Amino acid sequence: MAVSADPVAQSPPRSAIERFLGLFTEVRAGEGPTALLMFVNVFLILCAYYFVKPLREGWIAVSDISGLSKMEVKAYTSFAQSIFLLFVVGWYGRLAGRWDRTTLITRATLFCISNLIVFWFLQPDFFIEALPFSGIVFYVWVGMFGVFVVAQFWTFCADVYTDERGRRLLPMIAIGATSGGVVGSRIVSYLVDSGLVPTEALLLLATMPLLASIGLTQIVDRRETARSAPAARAGNGVQDAVSIIDGARLVMVSRFMLAAAVVTLLTNWVNTNGENLLFRVVQEALAGKAAAQGISDPQAALQFTRDGTTIFYGDFFSWVNSLALILQAFAASRLLKYGGFATIALMLPVIALLSYSAMVMLPVLAIVKTMKIAENATDYSINNTARHVLWLPVSAEMKYRGKPAIDTLYARLGDGLAAVTVLVAIHVFALSVKAFLLFNLLLAAGWIVFTLMMIREHRRASKAAADQTQDA
């Protein structure tokens, strides 16, 4: 008499790596090696990014333009970056249609590595005294770096993993991104503070993890091609060129992309408004402390403000990164597994709504700081997972052409609107902190509405993808 086979008993055992990764999410037999490679890959990419990012702020700070304050130089440069990214998105879309995904990622990363070497040579007071506008060019380039290296990694993830596998594994891979940012920033602080490495060398150091990332990407691509034989072309055979205008209008292709674009814009608008508000409250608090301590000498007051701001943000970022790592490691995958995409997509706008409600009622530094820690940590962990899971059920064309447009152009438009908000609020209406917070509270409410629309479109896309798989 034949004994029916037990499918569970017949499933291959998990390796030690897969059992360890299972502490953070559900990892099945055979999935561990690729997941670990992806984890290390994004860890290295974010380490490199945080080698570059601190230099951007320092370089723009010494890029003076006559008649403009340093804050205005930075704000206008951010706007220029948004315009420049229109060209980048169009160019990237054409490349995605011509090259397979490994070639696209390899060549884009090598291009950024070559740029790092050029900027290393152009740093002020290094080989030359100071090249005019070089800091502004570098600031704009860092935005492009996010397109070519950081954003394309997550597009690669969305292409490698199916909807079901991605829902399980992307939250764990995202831990690598969060920890890479923490480790990268701490390495920079240690190397520079200790004097082991001069600041000028950070750009060269950033090239090493990026080179390693190229190798890991190629290994993963070979493994997954042999495993599931996905479409080799990154753009899924899309050959038509994407103009600059098309890059801006790409979101009109579907309601899914329109909802994703608006949510991305509102996310950055609300978050950047909050960052500006936090900075304003910090400066007001420090000014009050200086007055209470009788610090009247302009130079002493400047030193007090500079030191106080540095100490505050050092503590602030430490809390944000630590909480984000905990949430990414132990909450993101479980919320996605048991609550679904809707739960993780709504988490950040709901927290933002509650946070700004608390700030409106009591707009003091302790409350603003605490609420911004909660908002930023959720953004860097749970919402980061939601951004990447969002694209799992859609076509390769939408991933490689729509996702970069939304992740760059519409994110930067949100930042630009935040700059306009500051300009109008301060110079036109002279709004108080509380009034500014009320405006952000209204934006957060609209953010929730569009997030609900995005969740609805994501469900439709997931159902369509599942139906297509069954028909195949």
Task: Determine the residue type at 340.
Answer: G
Same-domain check for residues 402 and 437 = yes
Whole-number pLDDT of residue 347: 97
Does a structural domain hold residue 248? no
Does a structural domain hold residue 43? yes
Is residue 365 within a helix (H) or strand (E), and if so which, with residue range? helix 365-378
Whole-number pLDDT of residue 58: 60
- Please, what is the end-to-end C-alpha distance for the chain in angstroms? 36
Same-domain check for residues 270 and 125 = no
Select from 200, 231, 262 the last residue of a domain. 231
Whole-number pLDDT of residue 314: 58
Same-domain check for residues 172 and 306 = no
Tokens 């995409």 belong to which residue? 341
String of DSSP letters for 21-50? HTTTS---TT-HHHHHHHHHHHHHHHHHHH
Same-domain check for residues 316 and 461 = yes
Same-domain check for residues 129 and 195 = yes
Which residues span the domain enclosing 158?
Answer: 30-231
Whole-number pLDDT of residue 244: 43
Cα separation, 353 vs 429, in Å, equals 24
Tokens 């939250």 belong to which residue? 171
Whole-number pLDDT of residue 240: 44
Whole-number pLDDT of residue 250: 66
Structure tokens at 75: 């704000």
Same-domain check for residues 310 and 427 = yes
Contact assessment for residue 380 and residue 324, using Cβ atoms and an 8 Å cutoff: yes
Does a structural domain hold residue 351? yes
Burial of 79 (0-12, 13-18, 19+ CB in 10 A): middle
3-state secondary structure of 100: strand
| CA-based nearest residue to 44, from 239, 180, 240, 203 | 180
Does a structural domain hold residue 236? no
Cα separation, 437 vs 440, in Å, equals 5
Does a structural domain hold residue 222? yes
Does a structural domain hold residue 23? no
Q: At what angle do helices 202-228 and 163-194 cross, to 10 degrees?
A: 160
Cα separation, 268 vs 273, in Å, equals 8
Q: Report how many domains make up the chain.
A: 2
Report the chain (472 residues): mean pLDDT per 10 consecutive residues: 45 80 81 91 91 71 61 66 72 78 91 93 75 80 81 85 81 86 78 73 91 95 71 42 52 85 95 82 83 83 65 70 86 90 96 95 90 94 90 80 75 83 78 88 97 96 84 64
In this structure, what CATH number is given to the domain that contains residue 53?
1.20.1250.20
Same-domain check for residues 154 and 283 = no
Contact assessment for residue 104 and residue 95, using Cβ atoms and an 8 Å cutoff: yes
Whole-number pLDDT of residue 9: 44
Same-domain check for residues 174 and 276 = no
Structure tokens at 16: 């030690």
Does a structural domain hold residue 13? no
Cα separation, 353 vs 205, in Å, equals 40
Task: Determine the residue type at 97.
Answer: G
Same-domain check for residues 287 and 403 = yes
Whole-number pLDDT of residue 84: 79
pTM of the full structure:
0.69
Task: Determine the residue type at 93.
Answer: G
Cα separation, 397 vs 236, in Å, equals 6
Contact assessment for residue 356 and residue 371, using Cβ atoms and an 8 Å cutoff: yes
Positive or negative torsion for Cα 44, 50, 51, 56: positive
Does a structural domain hold residue 6? no
Same-domain check for residues 267 and 216 = no
Same-domain check for residues 414 and 266 = yes
Same-domain check for residues 320 and 176 = no
Q: Is 203 left (phi over 0), alpha (psi -120 to 50) or beta?
A: alpha
